Amino acid sequence: MKIKNWLIISYLIVMLLPIVAIYLLYINLSDYDSQQDLKEYLEFQELVSSLEKELQDTSLYEIQPEENYQHLRNLTRNNLKIDLYRYDGITLFSSMDTPGSSSYFQVNKEKLFQNLNEYQKNPRTYTTKKLVFNEENQLVGLYEITMGRNAWVETTSKRTVLMLSILVAFFIILYAILIWSLNRKLNRPLHQLQEHMKAFAEGKDSEQELVQSKDEIGVLISHFEDMKAQIKETREALTEQQQEKEYMVASLSHDLKTPLTVIRTYTEALENHQLSEEERREYQTILNDKLDHMKQMIDDLSVFTALQSSENMLEKVKVNGNEFFEMLFSGYEEPCARKGIELSTELYVRNSYHLDPKQMIRLIDNLMDNSIRYTPNNHSIWLSGISSKSPLPHWVFSEFQKELDEWRKDGTVILIQNEGEGIKESNLEKVFQPFYQNDASRGKGATSGLGLSIAKIIIEKHDGKMNIWSTENKGTLIACWLKERG
C-alpha cells in the first residue's frame, strides 16, 4: 500500500476509533441506565403505594409528640426518607432527623408545592410529593417520599471505572499498534536504507537485507539497489579498464623493446664505413621492416582505442550481400600462395545487410592475417559466409559442427578455419584479450596482439558476436555472427 493512502487510513482510524469507542461506552451506560431506571421506577411506585395508607392518616399532620411518628420511622431504611409537612409549610416529621432533635420550621410554600403528584428522578434519588385532605376535603398537609438510588449509583460507578479502564487500555493498545506500524512502515525501512547507504559509501556491504515493499520507500529502495548495482558495475568496469591499460602499457613497452633494440643495433652498424653496399641494403630493409611493424602496432592501438570509445559510432549502410562478401573475401589468394596454403571460399548469403564496409574489411583482414600466420606451409584455409537458411559447409571440423550449428541460429556467420597446431583449451578465452600472444609469437615482432581484440569489438558494434573453437594438432575455427534483418 502506498504511504499516502496508509497515512490517510491511519489518520482516519486514529480519529474515528476513539469516537466510536466513546460512543459505544455511552450507549452501554445509557442502555444500563434505562434498564435500571425502569426497574427502580417500578420499585419506587410499589413502595409509594405501600406507604400511602399510612401517610394518608390526617392525624399525622398536626403538631404532636414525636413518639406518635415512631411507626413511620420504623418503616424507613437507609435509602428511604419520609417527610411530613402541615398545610402551611411547617415541617412535622423527617425520618432523617435524629430522634429527640426534631424542630418545627417552615419551608417555602411555593417551592414545597411544586411538582405535586409527580415522580421526580434525580441522579441519586427518586422523589414524589402528595397532598393529604380530611373528610371535608380540606388540605391538612402533604408528604414527601424520597428513595435513594444506591444500587444504581454504586453499579454505575463501577461500570464507569471499568469502561474508563477499557477505554484507556484501548487507547494504549491503539497508539502502541500505531507506533509499531509507523516503525515497521517508515522508521525501520528508512533506517535500514540509511545504514546501507552509509555502508555503501564506506565501501562495505551491510549484513542486513533491505526489506522490499510496494510503497514509495520500496520504490526508493529499488532505485537505490539499481543505482548501487550500476555504481558497482561502473567501478568494476573502471577497475578492469585500469588493469587493461596497465597491461596494455606493459605489453606495448615489452613488444616495442625488440624492434627498438634491432633498430638501434642496425643503425649503429650502418655507421660502420667498412660495410659493403649489399650489407647496407640488407640492414636498411631490416630497419624498414621493424619501423613498419612499430607503425602497425601504433595504428592498431589507435584503432583499438577509438573502437572502445562509446563516442565512436559505425557508419552503417545497406549493402548487397553477394557483391559485398565477394569483395570482402577477395585479395587473400596471393598471401596464401606465398606460403603454399590452399584457400577455399564459399558464399551462401542473403540479398542485403546493414554494415560498415570499412570496419568489416578491417575485421576480415585481421582474422585472415591471423589465420595465415598460424597456418603451416602447404596446409589449407577455408573462408565462407553462410546464412541461417543454408547448411554448414562440409569442411567444418566434425568436432565443432553440432555446437556451431546451435550457436549460429537466426544469423549469418563468417567462418575462417585453418589447419595447424591449434590452441590449448586453457588459452581459448585469452585470445581476444588485448596484446595476448602465445609463447611462440611473443617478442618476435610478429604481431601487435590487438588483431583479434579489434575484430571482436567490430563485430559486437554490429550487434553480433564472435567465438573460437580449436583442436590441438588439427586446427582452429573462428566464427563471426551477424544478425539478419527482415
Residue with the bigger pLDDT between 320 and 291: it is 320
Question: What does the alpha-carbon distance between residue 37 and residue 170 come to, in Å, rounded to a whole number?
Answer: 29
Give the residue-averaged pLDDT of 193-206. Answer: 79
Could you please state the CATH topology (level 3) that the domain comprising 315-483 is classified under.
Heat Shock Protein 90 (3.30.565)
All three cell numbers of 206, joined, read 551491510
Give the residue-averaged pLDDT of 334-353. Answer: 91
Residue 346: phi, psi to the nearest 5? Answer: -145, 140
User: Exposed/middle/buried for 379, CB within 10 Å: 0-12, 13-18, 19+?
Assistant: middle
Angle between helices 451-461 and 357-374 (to 10 degrees): 150
CATH of domain 212-312: 1.10.287.130
Kindly report the pTM of this predicted structure: 0.51
Question: What does the alpha-carbon distance between residue 266 and residue 284 come to, in Å, rounded to a whole number?
Answer: 8
285, 283, 294: which is closest to 259 by C-alpha?
Answer: 294
pLDDT in tens, 455-478: 888 888 888 999 999 998 899 999
Task: List Cβ neighbours of 438 (8 Å cut-off, separation of 6 or more).
Answer: 423, 427
The residues facing 146 across adjacent strands are 81, 127
353, 333, 355: which is closest to 344 by C-alpha?
Answer: 333
**H or E segment at 384?**
strand 380-386
Flag whether pLDDT at 446 surpasses 70.
no
Identify which of 31-40, 62-71, 296-305, 400-409 has the greatest average pLDDT: 400-409
Angle between helices 321-329 and 357-374 (to 10 degrees): 40
pLDDT in tens, 240-288: 777 777 766 666 676 677 778 878 887 878 777 677 788 788 888 888 8
200, 208, 206: which is closest to 229 by C-alpha?
Answer: 200
Q: Which CATH architecture has domain 3-154?
A: 2-Layer Sandwich (3.30)
In this structure, which amino acid lies at residue 294? M
Looking at every residue in the chain, the average pLDDT score rounds to 82
pLDDT grade for 444, boundaries at 50, 70 and 90: very low
Pairing of strands 139-148, 119-121: unpaired
Flag whether pLDDT at 311 surpasses 60.
no
All three cell numbers of 389, joined, read 537458411
The sign of the torsion formed by the CA atoms of 112, 115, 120, 126 equals positive
Q: Quick check: 92 and 85 in contact, CB under 8 A?
A: yes
Residue ranges per domain, the chain? 3-154, 212-312, 315-483
